[in-house]
Structure 1
Amino acid sequence: MATPTPAPNTQTNRARGRLDPTVGKARTMVAALLGLTTTGKHRPVAEPPLVLVGCSGGPDSLALAAVAAFFASRGEIRVGAVVVDHQMQPGSAEVAENTAAKLRQLGLDPVQVRTVELENDGVGPEAAARAARFGALDVAARELGAQTVLLGHTLDDQAESVLLGLARGSGTKSLAGMRPRRGLYARPFLGLRRSETLAICEALNLDPWHDPANTDPAYLRVRVRHNVLPFLSAELGPGVTESLARSATILGHDADFLDDLAQREFERIAQIIPGTDTLPGEVRLGEEALRQLAPALLMRVLARAVVVLGGYQPSYERLASAQVLLERKGSAGPVQMAGKVSAYRISRSQSVPQDGPGYGKLVFRRSDTALQQQ
């Protein structure tokens, strides 16, 4: 009995033997990050793992979805997608459904559209949208059993992130930008320029959606993209974008090393008080132990306490204010952190025994309960 002929790969058959070089480059990047192959015979596996693509329908993520679909056609992985509707623009639901339809035509399965409500806790619409988007992707990956979520960030995105970090006076963690792989998430296109994802869409006859927000000068990132980076390229040379991205890679190694050290210190000195099923109720950090930490580790340990309680990565100014509490001069707090978390210390003027559970510790709580429990 003759062996069935596999379904044709439309990406290859458009120009057999003439694979677009940018498409080939993108495939190599995805393969390297996922441990796949781009050449040779099809090697389908019995139970291929599921990889999801976070796709907005824009050129970057749509190109990534199409490239990932190539590996699904080889049977090495299954590829699905999640489209997040942030409801930030009129007609966003229609855009999301149209994007989902394009992804299904590429052969991705399953494809989900997830609508989110933004919670703006004073961090701005972009940060709120990011938090909601990653929340939706986390849930989708958990429910579908995906081992990886691919994101379409490019080298240009990386350079913009570094400049934004510099403008905000951020530290190593922010200047390190985005990592190629961090936990569930993978960004194989950090070595591609945005122009190259547009070239992939053209080569594969894809029709991406162009988000009008990407040309709205009300957003700082848009001004960096269209004004600042072109100016720097004109004055410093055309390689400035690549140089900024390279700096992020170098700083990323330093940031990861410091983060690992800080995590060990946090686990050593932190006392976690149970709260809800999903979040602790309180984090207590011994003041003497904190004072013995190097400044770079101290700030990271304080930030970790905020994030563990469900807050956002705090700014340097917020962390510095929490650090001042260790001096036991002036106010005992609370210091409001990002994301409804506050930090305080037990004041000496309060009637609390010195060996009490809060004395001699910097305490972090959700802001809605911190004042009630002092």
Structure 2
Amino acid sequence: MTSAANHQPRRRLDPTVGKARAMVASLLGLTSTGKYRPVDNPPLVLVGCSGGPDSLALAAVTAFFATRGEIRVGAVVVDHQMQEGSAEVAARTAAKLRGLGLDPVQVRTVDLKHDGGGPEAAARAARFGALDAAARDLDAQTVLLGHTLDDQAESVLLGLARGSGTRSLAGMRPRRELYARPFLGLRRDETLAICEALDLDPWHDPANSDDAYLRVRVRQNVLPFLAAELGPGVRESLARTAMILGQDADLLDELAGAEYRRIAEPVAPGDGGPVHEIRLDADALRLLPPALRMRVLALSVVELGGYQPSQERLASAQALLERKGSAGPVQMAGKVSAYRISRSLGVPQDGAGYGKLVFRRSA
């Protein structure tokens, strides 16, 4: 006689969970339905998880694919030490992730280095440094991040407020090198719904409601006002703007990268240490279209470990090409400065530094 337990109906998949699974599968090239397709030596995918609703939902959804044998899924929890009790929050988050079946799960504690970009920039740099190191140590092919459509809309609006260029307005890309963001088409309230459907208990970061942060004021005050005045689809429209501009920005970045490689001359110290100076041929820079020239200048700063410079700083560096007035230095964020070799320094016209715009990182 068949037991009644065998006739229990299968639990219906929550539609938001199904939608999220499809997003992860699409970005990683996996299957979310049908027969299991286990592979030999499945690649490791890591989830960067703070324990908040977005990243915890992402971790739980991605863990599903580990049960199918297509990938292995682990996680990295970064403790920024910015709040009292952060170590305990990180440890609890790691325990939740192990309970979901993720393996390996690492907690990485970081010390913030303030190089003039503010605490948020310092935290971001430290976080990505920790994620990079974890992926390298564990031989992971991808690190997933839990940014949502709401995060994308906030980024675009902040870029507009700062008067930023195409790359900033393009927001966050779904995939860039090691990092992937499957949830950029998912609303924040949907990640909360996933947590509820899967009986997850996310951590709610008090900083996300602290209006001392500009992003929080945009989230709590500006976007609700715009939605009330312009219509409820304003967040989706901002995210769509990012997607459109992202394609333009990718092309411009590709072209600028080729020009940078053509004209840049990296200089390393005699002891074989890392590159501390980049020289750019001034005549070649002048011949570039402005959109490419500014990107080449910005890339020089970033290549030396500085932060993405503001338009004002880039304009000041570009002004050095006019050979009028000061030869610099122009200070960029992140201990990088720009200057041009002046004739007054007595450098011969065929010397290594003559006719060059120089970017240098200080110790």
Q: Same fold (TM over 0.5)?
A: yes
Contact 1:54 1:151 (C-alpha < 8 Å) held by counterparts: yes
Task: Give percent identity, aligned residues only.
Answer: 81
Contact 1:279 1:308 (C-alpha < 8 Å) held by counterparts: no
Q: 2:324 aligns with which of 322, 329, 340?
A: 329
Q: 2:36 aligns with which of 29, 34, 42?
A: 42
Counterparts in 2 of 1:60 and 1:174: CA distance versus 1, 3 Å: same
Matches for 1:42-81 after TM superposition, within 5 Å: 42-81=36-75
Structure 1 residue ranges, 4+ long, deviating more than 6 angstroms after superposition? none
CA drift at 1:17: 4.5
One-letter code of the match for 2:346?
A: S
Question: How many corresponding residue pairs?
Answer: 355
In the other structure, the counterpart of 2:243 is 249
In the other structure, the counterpart of 2:184 is 190
Q: TM-score normalized by structure 1?
A: 0.93
**5+ residue gaps, structure 2:** 1-7
In the other structure, the counterpart of 1:201 is 195
Q: SS state of the match for residue 331, structure 1?
A: coil
One-letter code of the match for 2:62?
A: A
Q: Quick one: distance in 1 between partners of 2:48 and 2:345?
A: 51
Q: Quick one: distance in 1 between partners of 2:95 and 2:316?
A: 49
Q: Quick one: distance in 2 between partners of 1:222 and 1:209?
A: 17
Q: TM-score normalized by structure 2?
A: 0.96
Q: 1:89 aligns with which of 80, 83, 86?
A: 83
Post-superposition Cα deviations, 1:123-166, rounded to whole Å, max 9, x if no partner, equal 11111100110000000000100000000000000000000001
In the other structure, the counterpart of 1:279 is 274
Q: Quick one: distance in 1 between partners of 2:161 and 2:348?
A: 45
Matches for 1:175-324 after TM superposition, within 5 Å: 175-275=169-269, 279-324=274-319
One-letter code of the match for 1:213?
A: A
CA drift at 1:120: 1.2
CA drift at 1:287: 0.3
CA drift at 1:16: 2.5
In the other structure, the counterpart of 2:128 is 134
CA drift at 1:225: 0.2
One-letter code of the match for 1:294?
A: P
One-letter code of the match for 2:77?
A: V
Post-superposition Cα deviations, 1:51-73, rounded to whole Å, max 9, x if no partner, equal 00000000000000000000001
Post-superposition Cα deviations, 1:233-283, rounded to whole Å, max 9, x if no partner, equal 000000000000000000000000000000000011111112487731211
Q: SS state of the match for residue 46, structure 2?
A: strand
One-letter code of the match for 2:215?
A: R
In the other structure, the counterpart of 1:149 is 143
Q: Quick one: distance in 2 between partners of 1:326 and 1:196?
A: 50
Q: Quick one: distance in 2 between partners of 1:277 and 1:57?
A: 42
